Structure 1
């Protein structure tokens, strides 16, 4: 199968990328950048909008993993393979984020399953469970609890190997935090308490992304600024 041609004809490029990222993390022990590099080497390319959508949805999945899995497991009578489970994770996240009409979510899930040998023999199950998920969890009925860091770590450690758990935690942290530099290094303890931040080995502070930066103390006064931790 020509993967590029198929995913473009079915308009599932971003979903395919999301599925590859999830399989990379949960099955192949790859980080997101490693998955993108692997796909490029195999001549599978994506537009920036597909990468941006994949970043957004995978961030949602990792941040609400336990809630998502709990909803899926209600419709699975027995344990299924991880790649199939990852397709269901995409379906639930897209219902929650109102990404597409319900019929399109089911069709896309089935089309996605046709690509891989790990999922193409489960088309009936994927079609059936996806329809049940869509029927049961309309947008107004969906409630998710965001994984607090301690809760997420506990759930991952219980259900996955240390390597997979550490990888997901790293992705979740990078997607849900911002690193900042303090103008006056002598004030780092003050701003750590003020912003409820964590001090990094580099001397930067790590804060949550769940607040608007311009509303935080010190931002407009230039007491600190956002930085790229890799710089």
Structure 2
């Protein structure tokens, strides 16, 4: 019988064995025999284990004569993290031993799994708590050390170990207080709600009615930098799954949402339908777009290194190969976005990346090549404190350790560009 734990084990094998991103796995097909609540639980178990993988290995390896095959090792890792996260050790051990027993090729490992996990369960909690904070992959850590220094990088790594809250954006900001109460959330930046233990999102008040959508705090900021958006033509490039499209539509803009992926565009359409918001969806390469717009948002494809706190699978599926090609493509996209600007247009460029090469460097290069452009440093009154994160060329640089006292945020770069 398929369970949340056996599903978590299967997904971990795909991520660590095949270097697959969780977002690239067809979860609807893979988890079709699980209930909605068990699907959510399996992902929660998986992500928690990936965050603490380095710690799990440090605890397990001294208990093993030799490293077992990947399937068994992943089962041990998942169980170890769950046990050390104050889970019911007896139930956890029994179920994972049963999972091993159900697979013919793994049955001979039942005794090993049982013995090792019982030793894990007998381990002191303080041993686990005092273990070294897991580090970022070497390729990424090296780049970040050069950009930010060891102190900042260590703070980022510490934040990555924490289970992140869920941020939501409301369709009607006037209902912020109401949903703060209904969802037992915390108001943050006077426009988002932060939920510490959200549970199954689709069962929360307001979800089915389309009153809100999930959107990390950092990702909600770019649209808020647009002045007087109501009634204006707005273009959201690389729009899916549609957080910024919905923000602009809810603010009264006439939105065209462009994405090259049919699958991702279907998710965008689903989100618009649920929230009863309107936007014209165009499934196309953004370079095919030729019209002019008052507002242009380009959340460019990037390394996504700013989202590791929410997507801890990313370091195991990406190696840093092909970054220069990615940087080049981002700049071409940015150049094309500039070509769609009218004299009074506002262009927001952003990436969910920690790498200055995908943010600050791109805007610096653009300003050098397009003398008619300048960075507009406008901040709405509720966000004036973000001036602290202003970068040399005029953008905003947010890091996961910022606002750590309330749960941190995704790493993000944002710059607003206008014509002189």
Question: Structure 1, unaligned stretches of length 5 or more?
Answer: 1-5, 8-12, 158-171, 198-202, 217-223, 225-231
**Deviations along 1:200-219, whole A, 9 cap, x unmatched?**
xxx99654275427x99xxx
Distance in 1, Cα, partners of 2:92 & 2:79: 6
CA shift for structure 1 position 74: 1.1
For 1:128-139, what aligned pairs fall within 5 Å after superposition? Answer: 128-137=115-124, 139=125
> In 2, are the aligned partners of 1:21 and 1:35 still within 8 Å (CA)?
no
**Counterpart for residue 161 of structure 1:** none
**Deviations along 1:95-145, whole A, 9 cap, x unmatched?**
122232x211211110111233452221111111111111224x4543144
Q: CA RMSD in A?
A: 3.8
The alignment status of 1:212 with 2:406, answered yes or no, reads yes
SS in 1 for 2:137: helix
**Counterpart for residue 82 of structure 1:** 70
The alignment status of 1:18 with 2:8, answered yes or no, reads yes
CA shift for structure 1 position 52: 2.1
Question: Structure 2, unaligned stretches of length 5 or more?
Answer: 142-159, 166-215, 226-347, 349-375, 415-420
**Counterpart for residue 128 of structure 2:** 142
**Counterpart for residue 377 of structure 2:** 187
**Counterpart for residue 93 of structure 1:** 81
Distance in 2, Cα, partners of 1:87 & 1:68: 11
**Counterpart for residue 30 of structure 2:** 39
Distance in 2, Cα, partners of 1:37 & 1:191: 41
**Counterpart for residue 137 of structure 2:** 153
1:119 maps to which of 106, 111, 121? 106
Distance in 2, Cα, partners of 1:131 & 1:103: 8
Distance in 1, Cα, partners of 2:139 & 2:101: 30
The alignment status of 1:59 with 2:251, answered yes or no, reads no
- Answer 1 or 2: which has greater strand percent: 2
1:108 maps to which of 95, 99, 116? 95
> In 2, are the aligned partners of 1:19 and 1:86 still within 8 Å (CA)?
yes
Q: What is the aligned length? A: 178
CA shift for structure 1 position 85: 0.5
Distance in 2, Cα, partners of 1:96 & 1:152: 22
Comparing 183-192 and 118-127, the one that deviates more: 183-192
**Counterpart for residue 229 of structure 2:** none
CA shift for structure 1 position 155: 9.6
* TM-score between the two structures when normalised by the length of structure 1: 0.62
**Counterpart for residue 162 of structure 1:** none
* TM-score between the two structures when normalised by the length of structure 2: 0.36
CA shift for structure 1 position 154: 2.6
CA shift for structure 1 position 73: 0.4
> In 1, are the aligned partners of 2:386 and 2:396 still within 8 Å (CA)?
no
The alignment status of 1:29 with 2:19, answered yes or no, reads yes
Cα separation, partners in 2 of 1:54 and 1:194, compared to 1, 3 Å: farther
Cα separation, partners in 2 of 1:38 and 1:24, compared to 1, 3 Å: farther
> In 2, are the aligned partners of 1:18 and 1:58 still within 8 Å (CA)?
yes
CA shift for structure 1 position 18: 0.9
SS in 2 for 1:112: helix
Q: Indicate the structure (1 or 2) with the bigger Cα radius of gyration.
A: 2
> In 2, are the aligned partners of 1:113 and 1:122 still within 8 Å (CA)?
yes
Cα separation, partners in 2 of 1:119 and 1:31, compared to 1, 3 Å: farther
- Answer 1 or 2: which has greater helix percent: 1
